[in-house]
Structure 1
Amino acid sequence: MRDEAYNTLLEWIVLGKLEPDTKLKDQELSEVLGISRTPIREALLKLEDEGLVVTKANRWTQVAPINPIEAENIYSIGWTLECLALEQSVPLITSKDIAELEALNERFYRILGSGDKLAAIEADNEFHNKIIQLPGNAELVKMLEGVKVKIKRMELYYFQLNSRKPTSYEEHKQIIEALKRKNAVQAKEALKANWKNSLDRIRMNMN
């Protein structure tokens, strides 16, 4: 029941159903979810540990605000870890992997044109998740999971679809072309540029 409460609250926070600074009362959440207060409290503690909920002792619990400074920190961690995954994957990458990346990028482009922001962000994540999983480094995948959740929340909150098309798609193509040549330096440069440009697009919408 704690996991059920956690997964539901996490989804609501990431998707914005529970907006930043929304007060969270375990009794109300218990009634809405049909779950007792104890697993609700446990779920909130876990979300607090992950930085998605903040608590003032004996006063209130609320959804964590989205902080522009946090965006800078999280994105830099994200591109550093993903560049490491890319570096590890270059010697191992196959033509099948390249074909999957190309297919994922084309799918991403089609979804961008649909106007569905959530689906577009998820398709973008699928492309990057393929890169992360290529070297088979489970610890690296685990480290990136929490980062990716916070980034998805920020993207849903700030991003406009018209700011991503076709720039993100073209940036992905540059990564793929470097991987085809097994050029680790160029692949990492293209990947880092994609992350930095995404951060720039968030900055534009913060103003």
Structure 2
Amino acid sequence: MPIPQDAPAIDRRLLRDDVYHRLRDAIVDGTLAPGEQLRDLDLAAWLGVSRTPVREALLRLAEAGLVAAQPGRSTVVSSLSERAVREARDVVAAMHRLAVRESVGNLSAENLDAMRAANTRFREAIAAGDTEAALAADDELHDVCVRVAANAALAAVLDQYTPVLRRAERLQFSSVAGPASADRHDELIAALAARDAERAERIAATVWTTLPTQDDATARP
């Protein structure tokens, strides 16, 4: 699809991370479709910034596997392969397992209540067929452990690789598997409340390793 003409410009004073996040989100939500050519001049005009932060963002997106860039040639939005999704899935699962391990002894009653409330919203969104709301609630739930763990390296890895899984998450949360994700969230919260680190780690990993790859989704009846 063509570059949108009606997006609000980013405040020039904001950090270059904002450019990266805007482009990343546009790829994840399909605004910038797989195979679409990305010209830094067009993107800079769309976002209201100079070409430098756009070029830096494209390099970061290439590292995450969301775009394919070749020196001296065009940059395009990647069509994620099954291997790319599986690799990102394994990394993200390992990071969330670590977040649980580092946070389980420090979670407050308020933290656990926040996770329960997020899962309630997640369930309601799944029932309503609202994939965007389900993804937002899912993020809120898992971010509790990430914040309490307070591990900057862990958070940086998640920021890089979680977007690669968004297409897989959209498939799962819009399918019959969505309610099963809510049930696993309940099990995770119960294990965290009991301070059962081993069980909580195992469940946290399972939440992510059961996400479908593209091939899984293609095979779904």
Scaled to the shorter chain, the TM-score interval is 0.7 to 0.9
Tell me what 2:77 maps to.
63
* Counterpart secondary structure, 1:163: coil
Q: Secondary structure at the match of 2:119?
A: helix
- Does residue 22 in structure 1 map to residue 71 in structure 2? no
Q: Give aligned pairs, total.
A: 205
Distance of aligned partners of 1:180 and 1:49 in 2 relative to their CA distance in 1, 3 Å threshold: closer
Secondary structure at the residue paired with 2:33?
coil
Counterpart of 1:46 (choices 31, 45, 60) is: 60
Q: CA shift at 1:30, angstroms?
A: 4.4
TM-score of the aligned structures, taking structure 1 as reference length: 0.86
Query: Which of the pair is proportionally richer in helix?
Result: 1
Structure 1 stretches of 5 or more lacking a match?
none
Correspondence for 1:170 among 183, 192, 208: 183
2:22 equivalent to 1:8: yes
Give the deviation of 1:204 after TM superposition: 2.7
SS in 2 for 1:62: strand
TM-score where L is the length of structure 2: 0.81
% identical equivalent positions: 29
2: CA distance, partners of 1:114 / 1:199: 21
Q: Distance in 1 between matches of 2:156 and 2:40?
A: 29
Post-superposition Cα deviations, 1:73-109, rounded to whole Å, max 9, x if no partner, equal: 1111111111111111122122222211111111111
CA distance in 2, matches of 1:46, 1:178: 36
**What CA RMSD, in Å, does the superposition of the two structures yield over aligned residues?**
2.3
Label 1:109 to 1:13 Cα distance change in 2 as closer, same or farther (>3 A). Answer: same
Q: Distance in 1 between matches of 2:52 and 2:94?
A: 38
| Paired amino acid for 1:74 | A
Which residue type is aligned with residue 61 of structure 1?
A: T
Deviation at 1:25, TM superposition (A): 2.4
- The one-character-per-residue Cα deviations of 1:104-128 (angstroms, maximum 9, x if unpaired) are 1111111112212122112112111
State the one-letter code of the partner of 2:117: A
- Unmatched tracts of structure 2, length 5 or more: 1-11
Shift in Å, 1:57: 2.8
Aligned residues of 1:93 and 1:134 also touching (Cα < 8 A) = yes
- In 2, the alpha carbon distance for the partners of 1:95 and 1:144 equals 25
Residues 1:90 and 2:104 aligned together: yes
Structure 1 CA distance, aligned partners of 2:24 and 2:117?
Answer: 29
Report the Cα offset of residue 70 of structure 1.
0.9
Match of 2:200 in 1: 187
Change (3 A) 1:90 1:64: same
